[in-house]
Amino acid sequence: MTDSDARAARKAADLEEVLAGLALPQKRLSPKYFYDERGSKLFEAITEQPEYYPTRTEIGILEENIEAIGDALGTGVSLIEFGAGASVKVRILLDHVPGIGVFVPVDISGDHLQAAADTLALAYPKIEVLPVTADFTRPFQLPSPRVMPDRNIVFFPGSTIGNFPPEAAQELLTTMRRTAGDGGGLLIGVDLKKDAEVLERAYNDEAGVTAAFNCNMLHHLNGRLGTNFRPEAFAHRAIYNEDEGRIEMHLVSRCRQSVNLAGQQFEFAPDEYLLTECSYKFSLEDFAALADAAGFAVDTVWQDADGLFSVQYCRTTN
């Protein structure tokens, strides 16, 4: 399959997915549509907001425990990052873990990914950087490095695993297990359950960056699939659903309006919610059970002093 064919297939799959999501009684869109080039930059800005604890806390955990993390990862490593972003966190590993010989960043935003990969290749000339433009929730082919690694380690920071419902999260972890292969591992960020007020502040920053990020999904879909969303006709809202243990991000229709896609029309009532992201939070026991069902065993857990966040190393079990 040529690159052009692959792009066409991804676009067709995205169209089918968006049509299905808008047809649901509770309309929803996948959070992967946040991440065009502008969306990726907006997310980087979110991580710098004072209310948003996950990024700075995870970075602190990585920096404080990097020697132990390097020992866990071992040598002869191909590091495969699902959903590669700004590369801030992976640089901590590339700077301090000498066992990494290959880095494979995987992301759906091709231009942003290639620019980041080019920068990393210059910064780390001894590490082979092999970017893959793909939707990591679907099968993709790993590139062939010049020197085959002894083991694959999947890197999935940011607690992005929480963006998937439990069944889908288990499926993704199972995909990661296949990617890691026998004798491989997973280094993953896992956000922990905590006070609802802390969580809601983190997703409703005063500067409105998260609101812009949320609304940018509609700009992205307009350009990618030809929808006619009016982003200004929607408002951002994030709430913590304690029963489900998750933050829910919504776009709320400000008025009665219609959206067209591929010849189909979808009606929005005033104050109707469009669900754009669920971010599940975990107890340590919750995540251990999820990992176990996918073929991983939690080996080591590193946390911050306040117990807000964790970085976990999991080894393959079968």
Flag whether pLDDT at 285 surpasses 70: yes
pLDDT at residue number 110? 75
Asked whether 111 and 191 are in contact (CB, 8 A), the reply is no
Flag whether pLDDT at 71 surpasses 70: yes
User: With bands split at pLDDT 50, 70 and 90, how would you rate the model's confidence at 220?
Assistant: very high
User: With bands split at pLDDT 50, 70 and 90, how would you rate the model's confidence at 108?
Assistant: confident
> 65-194+281-316 sits in which CATH class?
alpha beta
User: With bands split at pLDDT 50, 70 and 90, how would you rate the model's confidence at 318?
Assistant: confident
User: With bands split at pLDDT 50, 70 and 90, how would you rate the model's confidence at 287?
Assistant: very high
CA distance 71 to 242: 37
Output the pTM of the full model.
Answer: 0.86
Query: What residue ranges of the chain are covered by domains with CATH 3.40.50.150?
Result: 65-194+281-316
Q: What is the pLDDT of residues 291-309, one digit of tens each?
A: 999 999 999 999 999 999 9
Flag whether pLDDT at 85 surpasses 80: no
Flag whether pLDDT at 288 surpasses 90: yes
